[in-house]
A and B are shown apart, each in its own frame.
Chain A
């Protein structure tokens, strides 16, 4: 593996992603936790750029960092008085052992071809563009049905969350 821009970018975004994730699960102050979550999501957006999916990177920045992380920040602030709970964890040791075992099993499955599969070393040269995605989303042989269902799901989620979080006394 030669040292070039993609390799350096991969290392940098790995540090962002995994360091941010580590911060999310370990930090005591949940407000700092949302900042770490943004760092991690930014690293994932960088991966999407490296994997030549720039549209997904833009959506990742807009939807995740711009909307979901801000929404979580609001939730942290609205539930402020209990954010400094004395113990951060329940079931710390079993969760740690379980997730470590999961990681080792996944890593074994990735690096050792137990099931006979061979992971490709290099990606194909030609790659679909955002224009292809846009055409496929409204193509009747493509993804038009899940596309419509996604809009219905978003509307239902929006109405539902307004209804759930509404204050009955107001």
Chain B
């Protein structure tokens, strides 16, 4: 059995890759993909902690069920985010977030 810290290390690396992409990429679709990477890193952490914890009576499935709900929220986030990106592209002919600054004060 692989020790828990190796799962956590891989999840930390994946999360850092996602942070790097979300901060540095220029294209909004690439930023959304990086956010998906971060969500997946968190899911690895949740499932790994769930698997390695002592399964107490009331806490039997918390990590498992929470990961399923994170998946649902990720699906909703991707749908709404891509709809916004497509609308911004239609109006401004650009998917670069720095150029969509009409609300900037």
Contacts and interface: CB of A to CB of B under 8 A. Distances in A.
A137 B60 CA distance: 12
Given A78-B89, A150-B72, A165-B83, A106 B12 contact: yes
A97 to B, nearest CB: 10
A38 to B, nearest CB: 11
Contacts of B82: 71-72, 74-75, 161, 165
Given A56-B47, A59-B68, A128 B61 contact: yes
Nearest to A62: B71
Interface residues of B, number: 73
A107 B40 contact: no
A157 interface: yes
Contacts, number: 252
Given A14-B10, A56-B64, A25 B40 contact: no
Interface in B54-77: 54-55, 60-61, 64-65, 67-69, 71-77
Interface string A126-170: 111000110011000011001000100110111011101101000
A71 B68 contact: no
A120 interface: yes
Do most interface residues of chain A lie in helix, strand or loop, or is the interface mixed? helix
Contact of B51 (A22, A52, A100, A146): A52
Given A1-B2, A18-B13, A72-B78, 17 more contacts: A1-B3, A18-B14, A24-B17, A25-B17, A25-B18, A44-B44, A47-B7, A47-B10, A67-B75, A74-B82, A82-B93, A82-B95, A91-B23, A103-B13, A123-B1, A124-B53, A136-B61
